[in-house]
Amino acid sequence: MVETIWQVLLILIKIVVILVPLMLGVAYLTYAERKIIGYMQVRIGPNRVGPRGWLQPIADAMKLLMKEIIVPSNANRFLFVIAPMLSLGPALAAWAVIPFGDGMVLADIDAGLLYVLALSSLGVYGVIIAGWAANSKYGLLGAMRSAAQMVAYEIAMGFALVGVLMAAGSLNLGAIVRAQAGGVLHWFWLPLLPLFLVYFISGVAETNRAPFDVAEGESEIVAGFHVEYSGMAFAVFFLAEYANMILIAALTAIMFAGGWLSPFAGIPVLGAPSLLWLLAKTAFFLFFFLWFRATFPRYRYDQIMRLGWKVFIPLTIVWLLVEGVAIMARVGPWFDHAAAAAGS
Amino acid sequence: MTFEKFVFYVFALITVYAAFRVITVRNPVHAVLHLVLAFFSSAGIWLLAEAEFLGITLVLVYVGAVMVLFLFVVMMLDVNLAPLREGFVRYLPVGGAIGGLMILEMSLILASRHFAAAKALPPHGPHYSNTRELGALLYTDYAYPFEIAAFILLVAIVAAIALTLRRRPDARRQQVGEQVRVRRQDRVRLVAMAAESRSAGPAEEEGS
């Protein structure tokens, strides 16, 4: 009994060790976003609170904590309150299977990839329920857009992940990284280039980020699904969106860019696999999220649907066929050992 | 009572409660959300039975995709609740008969020794991969039934699209190919012109 309690305590400590840096990462991602987009638009960005504006995210969080949460009249109170939590919960729970290094993972489960896919598909409930429960037409429109968009891009995302599991021969995220051992050219981004691009763009669409942010679409529907939310309830949606962004970036790094493996394999010191490589790759992909937002105008809604259903899904299916042929032909250096593993 | 058993009873209670609320709750959106909860907690029960692939797939397919579309449709409907509740007594005998039949069938399977379902599954070692075993079985022993099922689903997809497709000659459609082929020269023209002085009137305008 005492042993069980210790185990539970150990797991709780591990969860805190993962979540606290994640929350700090979310806070400073908002700062990085404002600074990077600021410089891209030839302005300076936040620079008043603390040295160089470093305390700006803390100030923002304090301000949101102090604000009143207003529940609109005729809103469904229970669903209105629970919606932000439903949005944040899956975004945090998915981190349980993310491997930060060889064996550095909270839950080393066999079907890790499926688990991540299942949880990222749950995030849409927070958005739909928020839009419906608030009893606001803008909220409902945003929820509808978001639901259609997420269902469309989830399929392309799932197919891209099928390609990854074909190449790695495993659904375990740690095993997927280990299957990419070798230099930059051994990582899966090269043989799975179309799937890599589809996955990343679908990831941007799933997180409702620009240029796919029609669920918020300020110019048309005010703020979309969270138009009626204020204070901390709004902040929780914000947290979920940014935690999802970091999650998608980390997953892209793990599945297509070798996770914790070093790009300079074979060179002493630099070639050692490390958590820092995973963080650097995640930051690299996160930069693209911010860069997209500063660069592209918002997509038209029918074009988003067309891109998801009529471009991405056929593209991934074709590339799965190509990949299957490559695995059968044992094209090196990626598929010679994967085929052997699948055959055993 | 072991911890697994305790977790099982928690999940089972939530499942039964949620399933009961699906048919008793007034608001259709709440009913769909309770159905989601029922699916989710039965996925938890499947995880306890070491069927992690099926459990996660249940969440992925039913909770993550099918129920989202359900919710989508139910939110768009403007359901008038009063007529829905009127037929309750009239349909009660039929519903009760079907429910009784289902209970009878289930208890036959669970209690009878002719069916294998009553036996407890043998426990597996820590290196047993549910996903790998299921895949191996589906693509070897059950390859033909699996492919036939896939083909039937494909036919169903095609049929659903064919049934709902309406060709209306008067409807305006977007020609996506033409939209993509449009070049900048077709839409805007850059015109070079000299700067005009503030005092110059419209009569002296110089175009290019």
DSSP string for residues in A54-85 = TTHHHHHHHHHHHS--PPPTT--HHHHHHHHH
Q: Provide the pLDDT for residue B127.
A: 67
Considering chain B, what percentage of its residues have pLDDT values greater than 70?
83
> Residue A337 pLDDT more than 70?
no
Size of interface A-B (CB pairs under 8 A): 65
> What is the C-alpha to C-alpha distance for residues A102 and B27, in angstroms, rounded to an integer?
49
Q: Provide the pLDDT for residue B157.
A: 92
Confidence of residue A187 (pLDDT cuts 50, 70, 90): confident
- The most confident of the ranges A272-286, B124-138, B140-154 is B140-154
Whether A132 sits inside 8 A of B29 (CB atoms) is: yes
Confidence of residue A340 (pLDDT cuts 50, 70, 90): very low
Confirm whether B155 is domain-assigned.
Answer: yes
> CB distance from B53 to chain A under 8 Å?
yes
> CB distance from B2 to chain A under 8 Å?
no
Whether B68 sits inside 8 A of A151 (CB atoms) is: yes
Q: Provide the pLDDT for residue A184.
A: 77
Q: State yes or no: ipTM above 0.90.
A: no
* Average pLDDT for A37-42: 90
Considering chain A, what percentage of its residues have pLDDT values greater than 70?
97
Residue A98 contacts residue B37 (beta carbons within 8 Å): no
Residue B165 contacts residue B178 (beta carbons within 8 Å): no
Confidence of residue A342 (pLDDT cuts 50, 70, 90): very low
Phi-psi region of B175 (alpha: psi -120 to 50; beta: other; left: phi over 0): beta
Confidence of residue B80 (pLDDT cuts 50, 70, 90): low
Q: Provide the pLDDT for residue A110.
A: 78
* Average pLDDT for A15-34: 90
Among chain B residues, the shortest Cα distance to A145 is held by B72
- Residue A147: its chain B contacts at CB < 8 A? 68-69, 71-72
Provide φ and ψ at A217, rounded to 5°: 30, 70
- Residue A94 is classified by DSSP as G
Whether A118 sits inside 8 A of B33 (CB atoms) is: no
* Biggest distance spanned by C-alpha atoms of chain A: 65
> CB distance from B129 to chain A under 8 Å?
yes
- In the structure encoding, which two tokens stand for residue B145, read together? 């039934």
> What CATH number is associated with residue B44?
1.20.120.1200
What lies within 8 Å, CB to CB, of B126 at 6+ separation is none
Q: Verify that B41 and B96 share a domain, yes or no.
A: no
Quick check: helix, strand or coil at residue B80?
coil
> Residue B206 pLDDT more than 60?
no
Confirm whether B186 is domain-assigned.
Answer: no
Q: Provide the pLDDT for residue A339.
A: 44
Q: Provide the pLDDT for residue A344.
A: 38
Q: Verify that B73 and B2 share a domain, yes or no.
A: yes
Confirm whether B37 is domain-assigned.
Answer: yes
Q: Provide the pLDDT for residue B1.
A: 65
> Residue A148 pLDDT more than 70?
yes
Structural Rg of chain A based on CA atoms: 21
> What is the C-alpha to C-alpha distance for residues B75 and B69, in angstroms, rounded to an integer?
10
- Residue A129: its chain B contacts at CB < 8 A? 33
Quick check: helix, strand or coil at residue A300?
coil
The better pLDDT of the pair B200, A164 is held by: A164
Confirm whether B194 is domain-assigned.
Answer: no
* Average pLDDT for A12-40: 90
Closest by Cα among B83, B69, B80, B81 to B32: B69
Confirm whether B169 is domain-assigned.
Answer: no
> CB distance from B36 to chain A under 8 Å?
yes
Polymer length of chain A:
344
Confidence of residue A113 (pLDDT cuts 50, 70, 90): confident
Confirm whether B86 is domain-assigned.
Answer: no
Nearest CB to B68 within list A124, A132, A140: A124
Nearest CB to B64 within list A121, A171, A306: A121
Polymer length of chain B:
208
Indicate the range of A12-16, A104-108, B128-132 predicted with least confidence.
B128-132
**Last residue of one domain, picked from the residues B121, B142, B171:** B121
- In the structure encoding, which two tokens stand for residue A67, read together? 């604000």
Q: Provide the pLDDT for residue B13.
A: 93
Q: Provide the pLDDT for residue B158.
A: 94
**Last residue of one domain, picked from the residues B68, B102, B121:** B121
Q: Provide the pLDDT for residue B193.
A: 86
Number of domains chain B is built from: 3
Whether A118 sits inside 8 A of B53 (CB atoms) is: no
Q: Verify that B1 and B47 share a domain, yes or no.
A: yes
Confirm whether B97 is domain-assigned.
Answer: yes
Indicate the range of A222-226, B64-68, B78-82, B182-186 predicted with least confidence.
B78-82
> What is the C-alpha to C-alpha distance for residues A219 and A301, in angstroms, rounded to an integer?
13
Q: Provide the pLDDT for residue A222.
A: 76
Q: Verify that B55 and B9 share a domain, yes or no.
A: yes
Test mutation, A114, A150, A344, chain B, max B CBs within 10 A: A114
Structure confidence by residue, pLDDT tens digits, A196-255: 999 999 989 888 887 888 777 777 777 777 878 888 888 888 888 899 999 999 999 988
Q: Verify that B72 and B9 share a domain, yes or no.
A: yes
* Average pLDDT for A104-112: 80
Confirm whether B206 is domain-assigned.
Answer: no
- In the structure encoding, which two tokens stand for residue A201, read together? 């763009």
Q: Verify that B117 and B136 share a domain, yes or no.
A: no
Nearest CB to A128 within list B60, B65, B71: B71
**Last residue of one domain, picked from the residues B81, B113, B148:** B81
> CB distance from B64 to chain A under 8 Å?
yes
Q: Verify that B77 and B11 share a domain, yes or no.
A: yes
Indicate the range of A265-279, A305-319, B119-133, B168-182 predicted with least confidence.
B119-133
> CB distance from B31 to chain A under 8 Å?
no
Distances (CA, A) of B184 to A299, B174, B181: 18, 19, 10
- Residue B60: its chain A contacts at CB < 8 A? 114, 117-118, 121
Structure confidence by residue, pLDDT tens digits, B167-200: 788 888 778 888 888 888 888 888 888 888 877 5
Provide φ and ψ at A313, rounded to 5°: -65, -50
Whether B75 sits inside 8 A of A132 (CB atoms) is: yes
> What is the C-alpha to C-alpha distance for residues B132 and A110, in angstroms, rounded to an integer?
9
Q: Verify that B76 and B10 share a domain, yes or no.
A: yes
Whether B130 sits inside 8 A of A110 (CB atoms) is: yes
- In the structure encoding, which two tokens stand for residue A33, read together? 């976003």
- Residue A154: its chain B contacts at CB < 8 A? 64-65
Among chain B residues, the shortest Cα distance to A131 is held by B75
Residue A102 contacts residue A180 (beta carbons within 8 Å): no
> Residue A47 pLDDT more than 50?
yes
Q: Verify that B58 and B104 share a domain, yes or no.
A: no
Q: Which of residues 82-101 of B touch A (CB under 8 A)?
A: none
Among chain A residues, the shortest Cα distance to B53 is held by A111
Whether B56 sits inside 8 A of A151 (CB atoms) is: no
Q: Verify that B1 and B60 share a domain, yes or no.
A: yes
> CB distance from B63 to chain A under 8 Å?
yes
Q: Provide the pLDDT for residue B101.
A: 94
Among chain B residues, the shortest Cα distance to A1 is held by B3
Task: Give the range of the structural domain holding residue B102, as residue numbers without chain letter.
Answer: 91-121
The better pLDDT of the pair B208, A49 is held by: A49
> What is the C-alpha to C-alpha distance for residues B97 and B102, in angstroms, rounded to an integer?
9
Structure confidence by residue, pLDDT tens digits, B132-161: 778 888 888 888 999 999 999 999 999 999
Q: Verify that B14 and B38 share a domain, yes or no.
A: yes
The better pLDDT of the pair B113, B119 is held by: B113
> Residue A334 pLDDT more than 50?
yes
Q: Verify that B52 and B104 share a domain, yes or no.
A: no
> CB distance from B56 to chain A under 8 Å?
yes
